[in-house]
Amino acid sequence: MLYSFISVLRASVMVTTLRRYRLALLWAIYFGVLFGSRRFVELNMVRHMIWQFPALITGGFRLGKYLPACWCLNFERYDQLGLSGMVFFIATTSIWMIPLAIDLAVQIPFIDALKFISLWLTGLILSQSWQRAGDAVQAFFLISWAMMVVTIGMLYQETDIRLCNSYLTNEQADTGTGLMMTASMLVVIWFFRLFHRLHQQEKSAV
Amino acid sequence: MLRTALICCSILLLAVIVAAHLTLNFSAWTSEDVRRQRIATTPLELPEFDLLDAQGEQYRFKKNIQQGGKYVLLGFIYTRCTTVCTQLGNEFQQLQREIILRNLGDRVSLLSISFDPTNDTPLALQNYAKRMNADSKIWRFASVKDQRQLQTLLKSVGIVVIPDGFGGWTHNAAIQVVRPDGSLIRIVDVTDIGHALALVADSSVQP
């Protein structure tokens, strides 16, 4: 609903200063809703990691489309081939998957706020970097990130000890499965889109 | 390209530094590990609080320990527990046996504190004690009536209680080793009774 709001806004007029403030208000609402629901969402590990984390990252990613073009160009010097953005993405997601970090986020609101901002920023930066990276660089980062997430997912599934004091072992196992599935799905979707695009290119070349 | 490379390196360096700081130099990946390591390096002064024991008597926790002059092995329970707490109960039964066997009764005592004061009345604690074959000279039970004091205690010791999905509770059970001066010096794994007793037995350090 929020996303259709934003796309309607975008489609109608160019981004003026007034619109930018309205956009900021919408993002304030987005953060407000996510932060306000944190107690409910973070009660369950699956909701926390499989729903909240992607919601934050894709939120940031969507905003990336509406950034002014001059910002994007300015950052290109620091983000050639999209490397910086992707390294930042991998670093941030790995840190927030450490069980200790999850526990801290659940128990301390300040750390949770840090988590929100960092994951959202990661999505935002990734939206720029992803376009700058060619297929090869995208493939490399996506596959290595997915392998890391699948490994972490397997660890969560197989370990006997309770990794997070805030969550039960069966939630932990379910989250592990969820992480593995999310990562594999993203890789599959990426490859599907790649083959689709190559197929279209072949067809138009013929 | 150089700028990008520099930025990537600094991001990675920052990530490594943050992770190292969080996980105590990559030694503790879970909050339970962090809790145990923190206590092992610096003893924690426990707060004072009021206990209501199984005989219905009220007393102050720290004052009682300091007067007794014995080490206290502290565990948290709730009497309707059928899961984790039975394991803790069994461990404490074994601890009691070992204490009697090794004649450590004058050096250490066991204390089980309930974090469910509404249901764990003195009578419930007594029944639980009987079920556990607890020797009241060695193993005592109590509950913390005041919710605020209970939360302060649980927070300072680092115990997180969550619902177990079956109408009960589960928590990060462990044996907390308390010095006679009322400070928490070590957190020992529930399965590691020998270590807990070794700490108490051969510490010739004066409290």
pLDDT score, position B205: 47
ipTM value: 0.82
- With cut-offs at 50, 70 and 90, classify the pLDDT of residue A16: low
Which of A78, A83, A103 is the closest to B31 by Cβ?
A103
Chain B residues in contact with A100 (beta carbon < 8 A): 22-23, 28-31, 33-34
Range(s) of chain B covered by CATH 3.40.30.10: 43-201
Residue range B182-199: mean pLDDT, rounded: 88
Closest CB to A99 among B12, B29, B162: B29
pLDDT band at B86 (very low <50, low <70, confident <90, very high): low
Is A8 part of any domain?
no
Q: What is the mean pLDDT of residues B179-206?
A: 82
Kindly determine whether residue B34 and residue A88, on different chains, have CB atoms separated by under 8 Å. Answer: no
Given this model, what pLDDT does residue B207 score? Answer: 41
> Where is pLDDT greater, at A135 or A22?
A135
Note the pLDDT of residue A71: 75
Q: CB under 8 Å to A199, separation ≥6 — which residues? A: none
Set of chain A residues whose Cβ sits within 8 Å of the Cβ of B11: 84, 87-88, 91
Of residues A22 and B133, which shows the higher confidence score?
B133
Closest residue of chain A to B155, computed from CA coordinates: A107
What does the pLDDT average to over B145-149?
89
| Fold held by B43-201 | Glutaredoxin (3.40.30)
Is residue A10 included in any domain, yes or no? no
Check residue A53 and give its pLDDT.
93
Q: Once rounded to an integer, what is the mean pLDDT over residues B96-112?
A: 89
- Higher pLDDT among residues B163 and A177, named by residue: A177
CA closest to A103 among chain B residues: B31
Q: What is the side-by-side order of every strand in the sheet holding B183-188?
A: B44-45, B183-188, B175-178, B71-77, B108-114, B139-143, B50-53, B58-60
A20 is a domain residue: no
Contact criterion met (CB < 8 Å) for A91 and B28: no
pLDDT of residue A13: 54
Average pLDDT, chain B: 87
Q: Which domain holds residue A129?
A: 37-205
User: What is the residue-averaged pLDDT of chain A?
Assistant: 87
Tens digits of residue pLDDT in A35-71: 888 888 888 899 899 999 999 999 888 888 777 777 7
Residues from chain B that touch A83, judged by Cβ atoms under 8 A, are 4-5, 8
| Interface contact B15, partner A, CB < 8 A | yes
β-partners of residue B73 are B110, B177
pTM here is 0.83
Whole-number percent of chain B with pLDDT over 70 = 93
pLDDT at A105: 92
Do the strands B71-77 and B108-114 form a parallel or antiparallel pair, or are they unpaired?
Answer: parallel
pLDDT at B69: 87
Q: Can you give the pLDDT at residue A103?
A: 93
Q: Are A79 and B11 in contact (CB < 8 Å)?
A: no
Q: Rounded mean pLDDT of B79-84?
A: 70
What is the token pair recorded at A51? Answer: 């729903």
Residue A11: per-residue pLDDT: 61
- What is the total count of domains within chain A? 1
Residue-level pLDDT at A23:
75
Q: Chain A contact for B20, CB < 8 A? A: no
Evaluate if residue A99 carries a pLDDT over 70.
Answer: yes
